[in-house]
Amino acid sequence: MAKRFSAILQLVLLLAVGYAIQMAMDAELINRYYAHVMTIMAIFVVGAVSLNLINGICGQFSLGHAGFMAVGAYTAAIITKNPDLILPAIFTGNIRFILATLLGGMMAALVGFMVGLPSLRLRGDYLAIVTLGFGEIIRILLLNWDFVGGASGYFGLARHTNFFAAFLLSIITITIIRNFIQSSHGRACISIREDEIAAETMGVPTTRYKVIAFVIASFFAGTAGSMMAHLTQMVTPASFTFILSIELLLMVVLGGLGSISGSIGAAIFLTYAAEALRAFRAYRMILYSLLLIFIMLFRPKGLLGNQELSLSLLRESFKNLRARWRRKKKDGITAAAE
Amino acid sequence: MAVLETTNLTIRFGGLTAVSKFNIALEEGELVGLIGPNGAGKTTAFNMLTGVYQPSEGTIAFCDAPLCSATKALQPFQITRRGIARTFQNIRLFKELSVLDNVKIAYHQNVKYGLLPAFLHTAQYQTEEVEIEEKALEFLKIFSLDTKKAEKAKNLPYGEQRRLEIARALATNPKLLLLDEPAAGMNPQETQQLMELINFIRKQFSLTILLIEHDMALVMGVCERIYVLDYGKIIAHGTPAEIRRNPKVIEAYLGEEVAHA
């Protein structure tokens, strides 16, 4: 009970901090540009953490996360822009936006279910191929759908997303996915990553859990898409290319496959890096590839491996460092004595 | 009552018949060995019994209910839930998970709470998780692995990994346990301990056990009956004493050494 109480207290405190930052932004204490970047960071946290559920926790390999963001973004955009389409007109303003975001997520989850069910029954790299194809199919469908503006995109959305909305969504995503991982259902997903055949013989219905993880991740990707759409106030097929999927994948791999805190850190860092290196934007993909190669060479499990960043982990590594330093010093002394 | 009964179990991979007309029957509480030279099809037979492979022909009945027939075949996880557990020849632990979590996964099949309680960590989640943790810890104690509960499975010494795999299989609460070369890579002393462990769990959990093994001392020592497989066919079956004397078995597998022993 005490544990539960402190968890809730933590959440409340976090949200209070988020809200305070939002107030500072509204009072223009924080530069508009930084406010925008911070909001994008929070959205990318949602994208990366949800992708980690598929690639890191469940051990499957999805390359189509941008596709699910696109489904969510367009669904939500259609709902908020057409006051009497899909949702009745009594829902207006932010309420309509929240419902639209939820529906966008659900639509993405539904599409995720349809894509995942046939491809996740197979073992191996089929999912990567299917999701890669799926992402492109979605983009090309949107490119040719005149109702949502085709190639030029869907414009004139109201600006519903502010920092606090994106922050709130990222906290909800992190909490739900973390809770899921700690549950028996989450353990079932991890066992699939570790050894699919053994998981099956331990009584885990592997296909079902792969689909569940895929659908949950698709849902959050859809909500992130909606947030993005209502931040930039437009959606174009060009904002959901394969490159976006790769960027999200890079965040997951850099942070550590299976580490939620790693994904959060990497999402924040890479969004910041992309902004800081805006002048070299043309070389971005080269940098990404180099970064991926370096991770694979020197830190194949990602920065955090599959551990979570916590105080005890920090204490542990600090102790290790100190022990190593002491040993070195001692070695130095004995070497000098000889 | 026969716990496990197979009739004419056959599997073909392309033109190769890996196992043909495999007929065995296990009575409740028996400890039966399955031996044979390398590549005879022992592990393939296990894979059919646990649903990893679908047999090309034949039926499997478990406690008089069909697991696999011409019309339907159960998935491996469904077979586990019916009460067949197994270990693997080349240990298949969840390497990156703790010893405790390895056992906890076996209890997943009993979990009643759904996804929503998992997302929100409701009271139902809390009580069930506490229960699972207690049960898993109790189990580790039986196998004297409780002192290493937080260790990653891959960091355990080889013998303990084997023990953990058996513990994990037993945690699924099986009636029938299939052990695939449990003594592989063990020294004589460890094999001796393993024999004691097998006899212990058999009584403790009132199990029926089918055992694949190359270590003749172990097989002859603990098994009541033995089936001998060669080139996918059962060539002999009987008590250890009978098997030792069977000329076909001596020719196919045991060789001079055991014949003189």
Interface pTM (ipTM) of the complex?
Answer: 0.89
Kindly determine whether residue A195 and residue B94, on different chains, have CB atoms separated by under 8 Å.
yes
For A187, name the nearest residue in chain B, comparing CA atoms only.
Answer: B105
B79 and B100 together in one domain:
no
B159 and B187 together in one domain:
no
Q: Which residues of B touch A201 (CB under 8 A)?
A: 50, 52, 76-77, 80, 85-86
B159 and B201 together in one domain:
no
B113 touching A, CB under 8 A?
yes
Q: Which of B131, B150, B172 is the last residue of a domain?
A: B172
Q: Are residues B113 and B122 in contact, defined by beta-carbon separation less than 8 angstroms?
A: yes
B86 touching A, CB under 8 A?
yes
A333 pLDDT exceeds 80?
no
Percent of chain B having pLDDT more than 90?
52
Q: What angle do CA A275, A276, A280 make, to 5 degrees?
A: 90
B255 pLDDT exceeds 70?
no
Q: Which residues of A touch B96 (CB under 8 A)?
A: 194, 306
B194 and B79 together in one domain:
yes
Q: Which residues of A touch B94 (CB under 8 A)?
A: 190-191, 194-195, 198-199
Tell me, yes or no, whether B88 lies in a domain: no
Size of interface A-B (CB pairs under 8 A): 101
For the stretch B130-146, pLDDT in tens is 999 999 999 899 888 99
What integer pLDDT is reported at residue A337 of this predicted model?
65
For A205, name the nearest residue in chain B, comparing CA atoms only.
Answer: B77
Report residue A239 as tokens.
Answer: 């904002």
A279 pLDDT exceeds 80?
yes
Q: Which of B149, B172, B195 is the last residue of a domain?
A: B172
Tell me, yes or no, whether B215 lies in a domain: yes
Kindly determine whether residue A194 and residue B97, on different chains, have CB atoms separated by under 8 Å.
yes
* pLDDT level of residue B259 (50, 70, 90 thresholds): very low
For the stretch A164-217, pLDDT in tens is 999 999 999 999 999 999 999 999 999 999 999 999 999 999 999 999 999 999
Tell me, yes or no, whether B39 lies in a domain: yes
User: Residues of B numbered 168-187 whose beta carbons fall under 8 angstroms of chain A's beta carbons: which are they?
Assistant: 168, 172
For B106, name the nearest residue in chain A, comparing CA atoms only.
Answer: A202
B104 and B69 together in one domain:
no
Q: Measure the CA–CA gap between B28 and B45, rounded to whole angstroms.
A: 20
Residue B50: give its domain's CATH number: 3.40.50.300
B59 and B160 together in one domain:
no
B13 and B77 together in one domain:
yes
B177 pLDDT exceeds 60?
yes
Q: Which letter, b or e, does each residue of B171-208 get, where b requires 16 or more Cβ atoms within 10 Å of its Cβ?
A: bbebbbbbbbbbbbebeeebbeebbebbeebbeeeebb
The mean pLDDT value for A12-29 works out to 92
The mean pLDDT value for A306-326 works out to 78
B162 and B178 together in one domain:
no
What integer pLDDT is reported at residue B164 of this predicted model?
93
Q: Which of B123, B152, B172 is the last residue of a domain?
A: B172
The whole domain housing B29 covers: 1-83+174-261
B186 and B123 together in one domain:
no
Q: Measure the CA–CA gap between A257 and A259, rounded to whole angstroms.
A: 6
What integer pLDDT is reported at residue A300 of this predicted model?
80
A16 pLDDT exceeds 90?
yes
Tell me, yes or no, whether B226 lies in a domain: yes
Q: Which residues of A touch B97 (CB under 8 A)?
A: 187, 190-191, 194
Q: Are residues A300 and A256 in contact, defined by beta-carbon separation less than 8 angstroms?
A: no
B182 and B77 together in one domain:
yes
B1 and B72 together in one domain:
yes
B5 touching A, CB under 8 A?
no
B146 and B158 together in one domain:
yes
The mean pLDDT value for A313-321 works out to 78
Residue closest to B194 by CA, chosen among B235, B153, B166: B166
User: Which residue among A179, A185, A198 places its CB closest to the CB of B94?
Assistant: A198
Kindly determine whether residue B80 and residue A203, on different chains, have CB atoms separated by under 8 Å.
yes
Domains in chain B: how many in total? Answer: 2
* pLDDT level of residue B1 (50, 70, 90 thresholds): low
What integer pLDDT is reported at residue B40 of this predicted model?
87
Kindly determine whether residue B88 and residue A198, on different chains, have CB atoms separated by under 8 Å.
yes
What integer pLDDT is reported at residue B256 of this predicted model?
55
